[in-house]
Chain A
Amino acid sequence: MEKYFYFSATPESLVASHLSPYKFGNYLAVGTKKRIKGQAIFFEIDPDKVNWLPWDYIDKKLLPYEDGEPKRSVFLSIYRVLENLPLNALLDLYLVTDDGKVLGLQKSDFKMQKEKIVHLYQQFIPNRTRVASRLSPPEFMKFLTDTSKPVSSPKLFFVELKLNKLAKDPEASLNNLPYTNPDHLRDCLIRLQHLPERPTKTVIRNFKEDLSFRTLKDGFFIGDQETFIFYPFPSSEELEDKYYSWWRSALVHSF
C-alpha cells in the first residue's frame, strides 16, 4: 500500500497513513464510525525532503490491518513539528470541513496589495492567537519569525481573515463578518489606529473554535525569515463554480 505523510495543523502533528489526502481529510473530520466531526487543516509532505523520519517505526507500525483495511494514521511526532520540518517538504495544503469535505490548495506567488490597510491574522502554529496588524502578510511573517526578538518563533503558519470595510474604518459596520465579540474586535482596531507605532494588537489570545472558511481572505501563509509560502484560497465565485460541494459544506454551521 502506498504511504502518505501529512503535517497536520489541527493539532500540530506529523502523521503517516495509507489514505490518500482526500480520504485522510475525511477520516480526520468524521472518523471511521462517523460519530465525531471536526474541522481539519493539513499539508501533504514529501518524505524524501525530511531526513529525520523514523523509518523503522514507520515500517513497523504503518501496516494494513489483517482484513486488508488500510492503516489510517500513525502519529510520528506531536511536538515542535513545524520548527523541525523543512519548508521545501510541504506539498499541497488541504482544508477539511467538519463533515469531511476536502479542498486541496496549491502554492502560488503572493501579490501584495499596495494599499495600507489593517489586517486580521489567525495563527495556527506555534499558537492559535488572532492578531490585528498593520503589517502585510510577508511583513508579519518577518516580524514574528525574527528570533532576535523575545516574542518570536522560528517558523509560522497563519491565515489572513476578512475585515472588509473595517480594514480601513474601524467604526464601519460588521455586515457579513461572523466574528464573536465584535465590539472587542472594533476596540482593538481603533486602538491600533490610534497607536501608529504599534504594529500588532492581540484580538483573541487563544482561538478555540473552528475557523469559518467563508471569512478567509487571500489565503494561508507559512514560512520563516527566509521563506514565504503562499497557498491562495479561491474566490467565492470560483468556489461556487468549481468546488460547490466543499463550499456548501463549509457554509453550514453546527451550533
Chain B
Amino acid sequence: MISKLFWVVPVASVIALFFAWYFFRQIMKESEGTDVMKRIAKHVRNGAMAYIKQQYKIVALFFLVMTILFAVLAYGFHLQNGWVPFAFLTGGFFSGLAGFIGMRTATYASARTANAARKSLNQGLRVAFRSGAVMGLVVVGLGLLDISLWFIVLNAVYPAAENSHHLQIITTTMLTFGMGASAQALFARVGGGIYTKAADVGADLVGKIEAGIPEDDPRNPATIADNVGDNVGDVAGMGADLYESYCGSILATAALGAAAFIGDTEVQFKAVIAPMLIAAVGIVLSILGIYMVKTKEGATQKNLLNSLSRGINTSSILIVLGALGVLWLLDIQNWVGVWLAMVVGLLVGIVIGKSTEYFTSEEYSPTRKIAKSSDTGPATLIISGLGIGMISTFIPVISVVLGIIFAFLFASGGDLANSKMGLYGIGIAAVGMLSTLGITLATDAYGPVADNAGGNAEMSKLDPEVRKRTDALDSLGNTTAATGKGFAIGSAALTALALLASYIEELKVGIHRLFESTTSYIFPNGFEITDPFQLDNITMGDFMTYFQVHLMNPIVLVGVFIGSMMVFLFCGLTMNAVGRCAAKMVAEVRRQFREIAGIMEGTTEPEYAKCVAISTKGAQIEMILPSFLAIIVPILVGLIFGVPGAIGLLVGGLGTGFVMAVFMANTGGAWDNAKKYIESGNLGGKGSEAHKAAVIGDTIGDPFKDTSGPSLNILIKLMSMVTIVMAGVTVAFTII
C-alpha cells in the first residue's frame, strides 16, 4: 500500500514535465510578430544565452572542485556517505536545468506575448502566463523527479524496510543534493541579481536621467542588457531560488520524519513520503489552477486579476483538502495535528503576502507616507523608506513566530517535549506553503515575460495600445507576486529551521560513520558512547547538552555573531558589486552616445552586445566572492568552533538574515511603488521635485529588492546545507 502510494510522486513529476512541454509547444506555435520584433527578441535571447553559458562555465568549475572535495572526504577519509558527491552534482544540475528551461522559454515568449497583445489583453495574458507556467511546472517537476530518483536508488541500496537507520541515511544523503541546488541557486540569484540591476541602473542613469530618453528606447545601448537582465535575474534566478526552497523543504521534512520515528520502519516510511506526496498532489492542483486562469475576450484588468486569483486560491484551498486526504491515507501519528501544522504554514504565507502588499503597495498608507516625505527631498524619502522598511518586518516575524509555535504544538499534540514531532510539523508547514509552487511561481515568472514583451513592443514601435496592455500584464503580475513572495520568504524561514533540526540528525549519522574506524566517541562535555545505537536513545535536548550548545558557552555566541555578520557582509558585497558593474555600464553607455554618431536620431544602432558583455563579465566576477564566503565560512566555523559554533552560526544567520531579507525586499518595493504613486499624478507627478527624490529612492532600492534581499533567503539555507553536509567532518575534526 505504502510503496504503491510513493509512485504517485514520480508520476506527478512526469505529469508536471509533460504539461510544461505541452505549454511550451503551445507558446512556440504563436507568431513572434514582425521582423523587427523577431530581431529584438533574438538580441535578448542571444544575450541571455551568452550570460547563462558564461555562468555555467564558472559554476561547473565550482561544482567540480566541490565534488572532488566531497569525494576525498567520502572515499579518502570516510567522513561522508559515498553518494554525497553524486547527490550534490544532481541537485546543482537539475536546479540549473530548471533555470535554463525557464529562461529559454521566457526569451521565446516575450515577442510572442507582445504579438498576442496586439490582438487583445487576454491573448497576451494567455501566452505570458503559459510561459510562467512552464517555469513553475519545470521547477516542481524536476525537483520532485530528482527527489524520486534518489529515493528509488538509495532505497535499493539501503532498503528502508530492513532497518530504520536506512531511512535516516537515505534522507540525510538526499539532503546533500539540496546543497547542490542551494549553491546553484546562490550563483543564479547573485549573478543574475547583479547583472539585472547593473544593466537597469546603468540604462536608467544615462538613458533616462542624462540622455533624457525613455525606458526601453532602442537608442539606449543598455536597453537590450536591461531586457536580458529581466530574464537572467527574475526568471532564471528566481527559478533556481524556488527550486532550492521547494526541494529543501521536502528533504528537510523527510529527514525530520525519518528521525522522529526511528525504530518503526513502517511509520517512518510514511512520515518520509508524506511531504513528497503533499507536493505531488500540489502539482496536480497547480495544473488545475493554471487551467482556471482564463477570461473572455475583451476582459478588463480587473477580470484578469480575478482570473489569476481564482487559479491561485482554488489550488490553495484544494491543497488543504488534498493534504488532509494524504495524511489520512498514510495514517501517520497525529495526522490531524500534522495537517493543522500545514494549514498554519499556509496561513503564515498568506499573512506575510498580505503584509508585503500592505507595506509596499501604493494603495496603502506606508508607501504613500514615503511618497509624501519626498516633498522635502531625497534625504527624507530615504529615511522614511528605511524606517517603514524596518517596521515592515514586524508582521512577517511575528507570523513566523506564531507559525513555528502553532505548527510545533499541533504536530506534537501540545507536548513541548516532543520536539521531533514538533519539528516535523514545522517542516510540513514549509512544505504546505510551497506545495502549489507550480502555479504561484507561474504568476511570479510571467511578470518579467510581460515586462520584456513591453520592451519589445516599445523597441519595435508597435501601437501604444500594445505597450499599455503589456504594462497592464506586468502590473497584474506585481500584485499577484506579493503573495508568492510571502510564501517564498516564510517558507525559507521555516525550512531553515527544519534544516537546523536536520543538522542534529546529520551529526548522528556522522558519529555513526566514525564507529566504522573507532570503538567509542567522546562528546565535548566528556560523555562517551561505545555503541552507535546508543545514539537512538539520545534526545535532541541531550545532544545539545553533550555538544555544549547553550548560551553560556561563548563559542555559541561567537557563532551567532559571525552568522549575523555574514548577512551584512554578504549584502554589502552584493550591493557594492551592483554599484561597480553599474558604473562600468554607465561609462560604456556614455561612450557610445559620445562616439557613435546617429544613436540619438535613431539612424545608427547602438552596440548592444558590448553592454551585454559588460554586465555578463561584471556579474560573473562579482558573484564569486560573496558566493565563496557563503560556502567557506560555515566550513571554517565548523572546523574551528565545532558543533556549538556551527549551530550559533546558523542561528545568527537565520535570525538576522530572515529579518534583513524582509526589510530589504519591502524597503526596495516601497520606494519603487512610491515613485510609481508620484508618477501616476500625485504630489506633483512626473518631473516634480518629489519625483526627482523618488527616482533616487527607487535607484537605491533596486539592489535592495532585486539583488541582496532575495539572495539572503538562499544564503540562510546554503549555510545550513553546507553545515549539514560537513557535519561528518565537524564531529571528526574540531580545533576548539
Query: Does A174 lie within 8 Å of B683, measured CB to CB?
Result: yes
Judge if B526 is at the interface, Cβ distance under 8 Å.
Answer: no
Q: Does A251 contact B (CB under 8 A)?
A: yes
Q: Which residues of A contact B686 (CB under 8 A)?
A: 178, 212, 214, 251, 253
Residues from chain B with Cβ under 8 Å of A177 in the complex: 684-685, 688
Judge if A73 is at the interface, Cβ distance under 8 Å: no
The interface stretch among A26-34, A115-123, A143-151 is A26-34
B464 adjacent to A244 (CB under 8 Å): yes
Within 8 A of B (CB), among A141-174: 174
Name which residue of chain A comes closest to B690, CB basis: A178
Question: B682 contacts A175, CB within 8 Å?
Answer: yes
- Does A86 have its Cβ within 8 Å of any Cβ on chain B? no
Total count of chain A residues near the partner, CB < 8 A: 31
A-B contact count (CB 8 A): 77
Q: What distance in Å separates the Cβ of B61 from its nearest Cβ neighbour in chain A? A: 43
Measured CA separation A212–B681 after assembly (Å): 14
| B685 and A178 contact, CB distance less than 8 A | yes
Is B683 in contact with A248, judged by CB distance below 8 angstroms? no
Q: Is B601 an interface residue (CB 8 A)?
A: yes
Contact with A along B682-701 (1 / 0, CB 8 A): 11111111011001000000
A178 with B211: CB separation less than 8 A: no
- Say yes or no: is B512 at the interface (Cβ < 8 Å to chain A): no
- Whether a CB of chain B sits under 8 angstroms from the CB of A99 is yes
B629 in the interface, Cβ–Cβ < 8 Å? no
Q: Is the C-beta of B597 less than 8 angstroms from some C-beta in chain A?
A: yes
- Is B600 within 8 A of A175, CB to CB? no
Does A98 make an interface contact (CB < 8 A)? yes
A113 proximal to B (CB < 8 A): no
Q: A98-B212, A249-B214, A255-B695 are in contact. Are A178 and B688 (CB under 8 A)?
A: yes
- Check B688–A99 contact: CB distance below 8 A: no
B213 part of interface (Cβ distance < 8 Å): yes
- Tell me whether chain B's interface is mostly helix, strand or loop, or mixed: loop
Q: How far is the CA of A174 from the CA of B683 in the complex (A)?
A: 6
Closest A residue by C-beta to B684 = A178
CB A231 to nearest CB in B, in angstroms, measures 22
Distance from A113 Cβ to chain B, minimum over Cβ atoms (Å): 23
Q: If the complex has contacts A175-B682, A176-B682, are A252 and B691 also in contact, measured as CB distance less than 8 A?
A: no
Q: Which chain B residues in 598-644 approach chain A with CB under 8 Å? A: 599-601
In the complex, what residues of A have CB within 8 A of residue B683's CB?
174-175
B210 interface residue (CB < 8 Å to A): yes
Residues 206-252 (chain A) with a chain B CB within 8 angstroms: 212, 214, 240-241, 244-245, 248-249, 251-252
Task: Tell me the chain A residues, 87-112 only, with Cβ under 8 Å from chain B.
Answer: 97-100
Does chain B have a CB within 8 A of A64?
A: no
Residues from 186 to 212 in B contacting A, C-beta threshold 8 Å: 208-212
Taking the complex as formed, is A35 at the interface, i.e. its CB lies under 8 A from any CB of chain B? yes
Q: A26-B601, A244-B464, A255-B695 are known contacts. Are A37 and B689 too (CB-CB below 8 A)?
A: no
Residues of chain B within 8 A of A35, CB atoms compared:
594
Quick one: closest B residue to A180, CB to CB? B689
Closest-CB distance, B422 to chain A (whole angstroms):
54
Given the known interface contacts A37-B211, A240-B464, A254-B209, the answer about A212 and B687 at a Cβ–Cβ threshold of 8 Å is: yes
| Beta-carbon contacts under 8 Å, B580-595 to A | 593-594
Look across to chain B and name the residue whose beta carbon is closest to the beta carbon of A97: B212
Q: A34-B597, A35-B594 are in contact. Are A178 and B691 (CB under 8 A)?
A: yes
A246 CA to B178 CA, complexed, in Å:
53
A182 at the interface (CB under 8 A from B): yes
**A79 CB–B CB distance under 8 Å:** no
Residues of chain A with a CB closer than 8 A to B600's CB: 30, 34, 99-100
Contact A254–B684 (Cβ < 8 Å): no
| Neighbour of B601 across the interface among A100, A178, A212, A251, CB < 8 A | A100
Say if the beta carbon of A75 comes within 8 Å of chain B: no
Complex Cα gap A176–B229 (Å): 32
Question: Known interface pairs A33-B597, A34-B597. Does A176 touch B684 (Cβ–Cβ under 8 Å)?
Answer: yes
User: Which residue of chain B has its CB nearest to the CB of A30?
Assistant: B600
Which residues of B in the span 664-693 have a Cβ within 8 Å of any Cβ on A?
A: 681-689, 691-692
A99 and B681 form a contact (CB under 8 A): no
Q: How far is the CA of A255 from the CA of B688 in the complex (A)?
A: 10
- Judge whether A179 is part of the interface by a CB distance below 8 angstroms: yes
- 1/0 contact string of B337-375 vs chain A (CB within 8 Å): 000000000000000000000000000000000000000
Indicate which residue in B593, B594, B685, B691 contacts A175 across the interface (CB closer than 8 Å): B685
Kindly report which residue of chain A lies nearest to residue B689, judged by CB atoms.
A180
Bound together, the chains give a CA A174 to CA B213 distance in angstroms of 26
Question: Roughly how many angstroms separate A6 CA and B384 CA in the complex, as a whole number?
Answer: 50
Q: With a CB–CB cut-off of 8 A, which chain B residues contact A241? A: 464
Q: Which of B208, B688, B692 has most A Cβ within 10 Å?
A: B688
Chain A nearest CB: distance from B42 CB in Å?
Answer: 24
When the two chains form the complex, which single residue of B209, B593, B597, B681 contacts A255, counting CB atoms closer than 8 Å? B209
List the B side residues contacting A178 at CB < 8 Å.
Answer: 684-689, 691
User: How many angstroms between the C-alpha atoms of A245 and B594 in the bound complex?
Assistant: 23
With a cutoff of 8 Å between Cβ atoms, the chain B residues found around residue A37 in the complex are 211-212
Contact across chains for B213 and A99 when beta carbons are under 8 A apart? yes
Known interface pairs A100-B600, A176-B685, A214-B686. Does A34 touch B212 (Cβ–Cβ under 8 Å)? no
Determine the distance from Cα of A249 to Cα of B212 in the docked complex, in whole angstroms. 8
Bound-state CA distance A33–B212 (Å) is 16
A241 to B601, CA, bound (A): 22
Contact assessment for B214 and A251 in the assembled complex, using a CB-CB cutoff below 8 Å: yes
> Is B681 touching A175 in the complex (CB atoms < 8 A)?
yes
Nearest Cβ in chain A — how far from B523, in angstroms? Answer: 63
Closest Cβ–Cβ distance, residue A195 to chain B (whole Å): 27
Complex interface bits, B511-539 against A, C-beta within 8 A gives 1, otherwise 0:
00000000000000000000000000000
- Assuming the contacts A34-B593, A240-B464, A255-B695, asked whether A249 and B684 have C-beta atoms less than 8 A apart, the reply is no
The docked-state distance in angstroms from the alpha carbon of A230 to that of B213 is 30
Instruction: Give the chain A neighbours of B681 by CB distance below 8 A.
Output: 175-176
* A residues 24-54 touching B (CB-CB < 8 Å): 26, 30, 33-35, 37
When C-beta atoms are compared, the residue in chain A nearest to B213 turns out to be: A99
Closest to A35 in B: B594
Q: A34-B600, A178-B686, A179-B688 are in contact. Are A254 and B594 (CB under 8 A)?
A: no
Minimum distance in angstroms from A244 CB to a CB of chain B: 5
A54 to chain B, nearest CB (A): 31
Binary contact readout B35-52 vs A (1 if CB under 8 angstroms, 0 otherwise): 000000000000000000
| Smallest CB gap from B209: residue in A | A255
Contacts of B593 in A (CB 8 A): 34
Q: Which residues of A contact B214 (CB under 8 A)?
A: 248-249, 251-252
| Alpha-carbon gap, A174 to B687, bound state (A) | 13
Residue with the highest number of chain B CB atoms closer than 10 Å, among A97, A178, A214: A178
> When A180-B689, A240-B464 are in contact, do A254 and B601 touch as well, CB less than 8 Å?
no
Question: Hey, which chain A residues are within 8 Å of B599, CB to CB?
Answer: 34
Closest to B599 in A: A34
Q: Determine the chain B residues whose CB is within 8 A of the CB of A176 once the complex forms.
A: 681-682, 684-685
Which residues on A sit within 8 Å (CB–CB) of B688?
Answer: 177-180
With A34-B593, A34-B597, A180-B689 as contacts: A249 and B213 at CB distance below 8 Å: yes
Find chain B residues with CB under 8 A from A26 CB: 601
Distance from B463 Cβ to chain A, minimum over Cβ atoms (Å): 8
Residue from B212, B594, B601 with most neighbouring chain A CB atoms (10 Å)? B212
CB A64 to nearest CB in B, in angstroms, measures: 19
Assembly CA distance A174 to B594 (angstroms):
39
Interface string of B460-471 (1 = CB under 8 A from A): 010010000000
Interface residues of A (CB under 8 A from B): 26, 30, 33-35, 37, 97-100, 174-180, 182, 212, 214, 240-241, 244-245, 248-249, 251-255
Known: A30-B600, A179-B684, A214-B686. 15 other contacts (CB 8 A): A37-B211, A99-B211, A174-B683, A175-B681, A175-B683, A178-B686, A178-B687, A212-B686, A214-B687, A240-B464, A252-B208, A253-B686, A254-B208, A254-B210, A254-B212
- The 3 closest A-B CB pairs, nearest first, are A178-B688, A176-B681, A176-B685
11 A-B pairs with C-beta separation under 8 A:
A34-B593, A34-B597, A97-B212, A174-B683, A178-B686, A178-B689, A179-B684, A249-B213, A252-B212, A253-B212, A253-B692
